[in-house]
Amino acid sequence: MSGMTPEEAVAHVVATNPTFAVAPTDVDGVTFRAFQNIPPNVPALMAAGHAQHADGTLPYLLYEGERWTYAQFCAEVRRMAQVLATSFTVGPGDRVAIAMRNYPELLASVLAISSTGATVVFVNAWWTTTELHYALEDSGARLVIADGPRVERLGPLVDELGLTVIGVRDGAGAAAHSYADLLNAAQSDAPLSVAIAPDDDFAVMYSSGTTGQPKGVVQTHRGATNAVFSWLMQAVIAPLVDPPAPDAPPAPRPSALVVTPLFHVTATHPLFLLSLVAGAHITLMHKWDAAEAVRLIEAEKITRFLSVPTQSAELMEAARTAETRLETLDYLGSGGAKRPGAQVAQLAEAFPNAGIATGWGMTETNALGIGMIGDDYLNRPESAGKLHPPVQELRLLDDDGNDVALGQLGEITVKSPANMRCYLNKPEATAEVLQDGWLRTGDLAVMDAEGYVTILDRKKNIIIRGGENIACLDVEGALHRLPQVMEACAFSVPDDRLGEVVGAAVQLRAGTSLSVDEMAQALDGQIAKFKLPVQLWTQDTPLMRGATDKIDRRGLQAACLQKEKT
C-alpha cells in the first residue's frame, strides 16, 4: 500500500481526528492556528495520559533502580501539590523555583507547582550563587525546591532574598524543609481544584541572550500543550506516510532515556511532557555516561534517545565498544546544537533500526520548530528540516522585515501558539523579537522550494557549548573584572566533542600577563565553569575594530583561529 505525502497526511489527520482539530484562536488580540480539543493546561496532561498508561498501571519512571508506576507518580504529584497549597500557600500568581539535577522529584515538582496555578521557575543547576541571585530576584521566586549542591549555593541568599528552601535528597538535611518528609506527611492526594486558563503562565525558563544577563522566557500553558500535541501528531502521521507491512508486529511502547538537563526545553517538553500523553516510559540518568546509557537502552528497551550531538557521538562509540547496535532504538534525535553533517551517516550505520533525526527549536518556542528524520535527513545532513505542522507558520525576513526569496538568506521568524508570552521584566527585549505574534529568532537561514530550511548563521552572539547557550557578553563581563584586562572579546572555537567552546581575545594592561589557568582560578565562582574560555589570546594593543570602531568579533575570531593553525 502506498503512503500519503506528509502534507496529505497532515490534512487527513486534522480533518478526521478530533484530537488534532485546528482552528483560528485569538490570544491577546493576535490570531493563531491552535489545537481546539487538547488539554487546557499542563497539569491536565496527566489525566489525559491516564488511559495511555493502562489506567496508570504501567511502569512510568525509573531512576537508579527506583521505579514508579504512572499512578504512583501522579499520586506523588497530587500530594506535593496539596503540600504546596496548604503548607506554603502557593497558588495562582506565585512563582516557585526548581534547582536540582535530573532527579525524579524535579518531574513531580514541575507538575505539582503548576497544579496549584503557580508558575514554575526553572533554574540552571550549573549556576553560581551570583547567577542564582539574579534569577531569583528577577523572577520573584521565594520558594525553592533544591538538591544538596544547590541548597549550599543558595545559603548566602536565604536571608537576603527571604527564601524558603525545600531540600531534595542530599539537600534535605541542610534545608529548612525536607521534600520526602513533607510528602510522607501529606494528608491527601486528591487533585486540587484550581482554575488554570490556557493563557496563564506555565513556566519561566532562563535563556542566555546578547545582553549578558539571562532572559526569563515566559511560557504559557497553551504554548506548552500545543508544542506537545504537535509532536504527538508526528506519531499519528508517520504510518500514513510510510505504512507498515500487513504482518508487522505492533509498535513497541515508547520509552525515552533522558540525558540532557531538565531545566532546558530539549528534555522537559519533547521528552517529559510528551511522555504523559504518549504513554511513554521515562528513564533518568544520574550523570551522563555513554557506557551506562548503552546498558540502560538494552536493559530497559529504550526506543527514544534525544540528546545534544556530543552525546549521540559518544553513544555511538560506546555501542561499538560493547559490540551492540541498540536494536530497540527507533528514534535518535539531536537538539540544543547542530549535529555535524558527517555524523549523520555514521549514526545511521551504527544504529540501523533507529531513525536518525534532527530538530531546531528554542526556549522561546517551547522547543517546537523545525525537524526531519530518516532518509530526509540522510539526504540533507546539513539542513535543519521542515516546519513541524500544523499550528506553526514560518517566514524568512530581511533586516527590514520583508520576506526574502527562496534560496536567499533571511532570519527565521515563526508564528504559533507555542511562542513565548514575553521576556520577563524586559518589555524592550520582548518588543524587539515579538511583533504581531511573529517571533524573530535571530537565526539566519535559507529555504528551498520543498520547504527544507538550512541554518547558516546566528545574529546573536551566542556560543552553543554542547547544548548550553553562553552569551559572549556574559563571558566578557567576567573577563573585564580581572585587573590585567583592558578589553575582552569572546567568541566560539570549534570543538570536535562539544561542537563549540569558549575562546577569548584580551588586551592586557602594560606589564601584566594572563594564562588560561590564571584566568580560570581568578574567575572561579564568578561565572559557571562551562562559560570559562578554554583558549585565550592575549595582546598589549587594542583589539581589532570594524568600520564603526566596535570590536570586530568575527574578524578577531578568524585571526585568532588562524594563529592557532600556524
| Residue 354 domain flag | no
**Mean pLDDT of the 476-488 span:** 90
- Mean predicted confidence (pLDDT) in 341-352: 93
Q: Give residue 435's Cα distance to chain centre.
A: 23
Q: Give pLDDT tens digits for 411-467.
A: 999 999 999 999 999 999 999 999 999 999 999 899 999 999 998 877 777 788 988
Q: What is the pLDDT of residue 469?
A: 80
The answer to whether residue 424 sits within a structural domain is no
Judging by beta carbons within 10 Å of its beta carbon (0-12, 13-18, 19+), is residue 384 exposed, middle or buried? buried
Is 559 a member of any domain?
A: yes
Q: Does 564 score more than 50 pLDDT?
A: yes
> Helix, strand or coil for residue 204?
strand
- pLDDT score of 468: 86
| pLDDT score for 399 | 86
Look up the domain containing 154 and give its range: 67-219
- Percentage of the residues of the chain whose pLDDT score is greater than 90: 84
Q: Which residues contact 298 (CB under 8 A, 6 or more apart)?
A: 324, 326, 328
Where residue 142 sits, what CATH number does that domain have?
3.40.50.980
Instruction: Specify the 3-state DSSP secondary structure of 45.
Output: helix
Backbone angles phi, psi at 450, to 5 degrees: -90, -5
pLDDT band at 549 (very low <50, low <70, confident <90, very high): low
Name every residue whose Cβ is closer than 8 Å to that of residue 105 and which is 6 or more positions away in sequence. Answer: 145, 168, 169, 179
Q: Say if 152 falls within a structural domain.
A: yes
Say if residues 397 and 413 touch (Cβ distance below 8 Å). Answer: yes
pTM, rounded to two decimals: 0.88
Q: Give me the amino acid identity at 337.
A: A
Q: Is the pLDDT of residue 210 over 50?
A: no
Burial (CB < 10 A; 0-12, 13-18, 19+), residue 350, is buried
Quick: pLDDT tens for 65-119: 999 999 999 999 999 999 999 999 999 999 999 999 999 999 999 999 999 999 9
Q: How confident is the model at residue 310 (pLDDT cuts 50, 70, 90)?
A: confident
Query: Residue 214 is placed in which grid cell?
Result: 539571562
The CATH number that applies at residue 527 is 3.30.300.30
At 471 the pLDDT is 78
Q: Average pLDDT, stretch 314-333?
A: 97
Instruction: Spell out where 77-172 has E strands.
Output: 95-99, 119-122, 143-146, 164-167
C-alpha distances (whole Å) from 450 to each of 252, 382, 384, 404, 443 are 32, 15, 13, 16, 20
In a domain, 50, yes or no: no
CA geometry: angle at 58 spanning 55 and 63, to 5°? Answer: 135
Coil, strand, or helix at residue 97? strand
pLDDT of 13 over the 80 cut: yes
Q: What is the pLDDT of residue 486?
A: 87
As given in the structure block, the three cell numbers for residue 288 are 551522563
- Domain end point (choices 167, 188, 219): 219
Number of domains present in the structure of the chain: 2
Which pLDDT belongs to residue 308?
Answer: 87
What grid cell was written down for 26? 485569538
* Helix/strand/coil (H/E/C) assignment for every residue in 69-114: EHHHHHHHHHHHHHHHHHHCCCCCCCEEEEECCCCHHHHHHHHHHH
End residue of a domain, out of 195, 219, 243: 219
Q: Which of 219, 246, 270 is the last residue of a domain?
A: 219
Has residue 393 been placed in a domain? Answer: no
pLDDT digits (tens, 9 = 90+) for 361-420: 999 999 999 999 999 999 999 899 999 999 999 999 998 999 999 999 899 999 999 999
Across residues 26-39, what is the average pLDDT? Answer: 97
| d(C-alpha 223, C-alpha 204), whole Å | 12
Longest pairwise C-alpha distance within the chain: 78
Quote the pLDDT of residue 547: 56
**Span 199-214, mean pLDDT?**
81
Residue 258 lies in a domain: no
pLDDT at 52 over 80: yes
Give me the pLDDT at residue 456, please. 81
Q: Quick check: is 85 in a domain?
A: yes
